């Protein structure tokens, strides 16, 4: 998989640090949760899809960390840093043992195929 990311050589030096520092705290918080938990769900208030993913995990008896950032009406710019970091366009973002598996539908596919259980073993 090739992910399209603007090469640093094509970013003017005067703004490189601004880009590097933009909402880095939210990324570091998610990275810390990923390092400490086998399963991490990153979501937002008022969005029913992260709730569906959490319900699936609860039904499986899987322990997970849940991080919630804003709602449809606030903190979208901070969540955007996570989207740029992962390349994933929506919420939830679900990580299993450090690997981004996608969202709720992707989680369900992995559960149905048995791969989710294998990832946790």
Residue 4 lies in a domain: no
Residue 31 lies in a domain: yes
Residue 5 lies in a domain: no
Residue 63 lies in a domain: yes
Q: Looking at residue 55, what is its pLDDT?
A: 98
Residue 115 lies in a domain: yes
Question: For the chain, what is the domain count?
Answer: 1
CA distances from 92 to 8, 37, 77 (A): 28, 16, 16
Percentage of the chain surpassing pLDDT 70? Answer: 100
DSSP 8-state class, residue 72 = T
pLDDT per position as a tens digit, 5-53: 899 999 999 999 999 999 999 999 999 999 999 999 999 999 999 999 9
- In the Cβ-directed half-sphere of 68, how many Cα atoms lie within 13 Å? 13
Residue 1 lies in a domain: no
Decide if 73 contacts 55 (C-beta within 8 A): no
Domain of residue 75, residue span: 14-120
Residue 38 lies in a domain: yes
CATH number at residue 104: 3.40.30.10
Residue 26 lies in a domain: yes
Integer Rg of the chain from CA: 16
What global pTM score does this model have?
Answer: 0.93
């Amino acid at each position: 998989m090739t992910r399209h990311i603007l090469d640093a050589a094509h970013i003017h030096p005067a703004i490189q640090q601004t880009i590097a520092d933009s909402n880095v705290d939210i990324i570091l918080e998610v990275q810390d949760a990923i390092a400490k938990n086998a399963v991490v769900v990153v979501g937002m208030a008022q969005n029913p899809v992260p709730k569906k993913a959490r319900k699936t995990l609860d039904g499986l008896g899987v322990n997970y960390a849940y991080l919630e950032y804003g709602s449809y009406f606030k903190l979208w710019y901070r969540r955007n840093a996570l989207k740029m970091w992962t390349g994933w366009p929506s919420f939830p973002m679900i990580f299993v043992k450090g690997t981004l598996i996608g969202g709720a539908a992707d989680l369900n596919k992995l559960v149905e195929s048995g791969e989710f259980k294998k990832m946790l073993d």
